[in-house]
Amino acid sequence: MTRPDKAVLRLASGLFLAVLLAYGLALPMPFVVCLLALMMLCKPGPPLPMLKGFVVALLLGSLIVGGVLMVPLLQHYALSGVMLTGAVLYALFYFGLRRDNPLTMILVVSFTLVPVAGVAAQALVTVISVALVAGVLVGLVVNGLSHAFFPDPPELPGTTARPPPIGREAASWIALRATLIVVPVFVLALSNPSFYLAAIMKTVALAQQAGSARARSAGQELVGSTLMGAWMALLVWFGLSLWPNLWMLMLWITGAALWSGARIFGVKASAFSPSFWSNALMTMFIVLGPAIEDSANGKDVWQASASRIVLFLGVSLYAWATVWALERWRASRSQALFFKRG
């Protein structure tokens, strides 16, 4: 069995366990727990050691505390609060790129969700904070178990060359793009937190994906992966409606993970990049999770899901436009400097 095959099996079995723990134990906001576990399962390389996991948990806790402290600042000094949020997000993206930290998305989600929830209701902060911490812990557990069942063979010295770290200028530019994608949606979420909470998670995923997307392919990457994720969520929902119980939910999500994971890790050839498929799988969770909660609360699932998908498409189009505009501005600026020197 090759390394990509084992990576696909780790992703599928890890999500199987994550869904079992999140929904079986009735954890708060279980789809957020599964989403954070998915981010950790998509991380290349071996699982985090316990010491590193403890450091990540401490950093996550400090960001949650920082997000709680941002709430009164956003309520009484909105402009200063938004500017400070943008600065922190830029720093998280920048240092995450410089240190090649695959958990940057989890940290950004934590710092953006908590203040938005605090503006809506203080009780919601506790629910989201517990969901974030539970998501990281579940992610550590299922990632470790999946690696124990499907371990990679030991690497020989010098057989794998790590990619060179991203330079300061490139990291600064990508971090700026990502921050400009997240901040406007963050501001919108402050006006209607309950409606935009899922959009925050989708926007953070888009910002991460936009970091590696070029202007020419950004539309296909960002908008296409959103449509693919919505289509996957629709298929899982139809399958779940045939026999709605926890085991069917686990099996259908495992099937979706196997199908998309084969393309994420290169087992199946695809015209789209691995980031396209990982973002599509995340979008599936962001669409499917709230739909399950709407069904349990007696809400109109189709209307609410359609509103979310339209919102996600709007956010994706905005991210595409941002990448295109910034790349055009950067190209014109470089051309103007070239002619000035000449």
39 pLDDT tier (thresholds 50, 70, 90): confident
Residue 117's pLDDT is: 83
256 pLDDT tier (thresholds 50, 70, 90): very high
What average pLDDT does the segment 63-79 reach? 84
Is pLDDT of 14 > 90?
Answer: yes
Cα–Cα dist 202/195, whole Å: 13
59 pLDDT tier (thresholds 50, 70, 90): confident
Lowest mean pLDDT among 81-90, 149-158, 320-329: 149-158
pLDDT higher at 62 or 86: 86
> Are 208 and 104 in contact, with CB atoms under 8 Å apart?
yes
Residue closest to 120 by CA, chosen among 176, 208, 200, 226: 200
Q: How many helices (H) and strands (E) does the chain have?
A: 12, 0
What average pLDDT does the segment 159-178 reach? 74
Amino acid letter, residue 207: A
Percent of the chain predicted with pLDDT > 70:
87
pLDDT higher at 157 or 247: 247
Lowest mean pLDDT among 43-47, 255-259, 291-295: 43-47
Give the tens place of pLDDT for each residue, 212-253. 555 556 667 788 888 999 999 999 999 988 888 899 999 999
pLDDT higher at 338 or 284: 284
Residue 23's pLDDT is: 93
- CA within 13 Å, CB half, 62: 6
Residue 87's pLDDT is: 92
pTM: 0.86
Residue closest to 197 by CA, chosen among 255, 278, 266, 112: 112
Cα–Cα dist 75/121, whole Å: 12
Residue closest to 39 by CA, chosen among 283, 254, 320: 283
Residue 249's pLDDT is: 93
Alpha helices in 46-103 (DSSP H): 50-76, 78-98
Q: ∠ at Cα 67 (283, 124), nearest 5°?
A: 65
Please give the distance of CA 47 from its chain centroid, rounded to a whole number. 18
What average pLDDT does the segment 143-150 reach? 88
Cα–Cα dist 231/154, whole Å: 38
Residue 270's pLDDT is: 84
pLDDT higher at 164 or 201: 201
Give the tens place of pLDDT for each residue, 182-191. 999 888 888 8
Residue closest to 281 by CA, chosen among 316, 330, 326, 231: 231
The size of the chain, in residues, is 342
Burial (CB count within 10 angstroms: exposed 0-12, middle 13-18, buried 19+), residue 297? exposed
Own/partner long-range contacts of 72-75 (Cβ < 8 Å, ≥24 apart): 74/115, 74/118, 74/119, 74/190, 75/119
Is pLDDT of 105 > 90?
Answer: no
Q: Both tokens of residue 168?
A: 């300061």
Q: Both tokens of residue 92?
A: 């998280």
* Distances from the Cα of 311 to the Cα of 183, 287, 305, angstroms: 16, 11, 10
pLDDT higher at 208 or 140: 140
Is pLDDT of 158 > 60?
Answer: no
Residue 152's pLDDT is: 79
Residue tagged 């991380």 (tokens):
43
Residue closest to 174 by CA, chosen among 214, 211, 129: 211
> Are 174 and 93 in contact, with CB atoms under 8 Å apart?
yes
342 pLDDT tier (thresholds 50, 70, 90): low
Residue closest to 320 by CA, chosen among 230, 216, 188: 216
* Distances from the Cα of 257 to the Cα of 7, 30, 320, angstroms: 11, 17, 26
What average pLDDT does the segment 204-210 reach? 77
Is pLDDT of 12 > 70?
Answer: yes
What average pLDDT does the segment 93-116 reach? 81
Lowest mean pLDDT among 56-65, 91-100, 130-139, 225-234: 56-65
DSSP state of 156: P
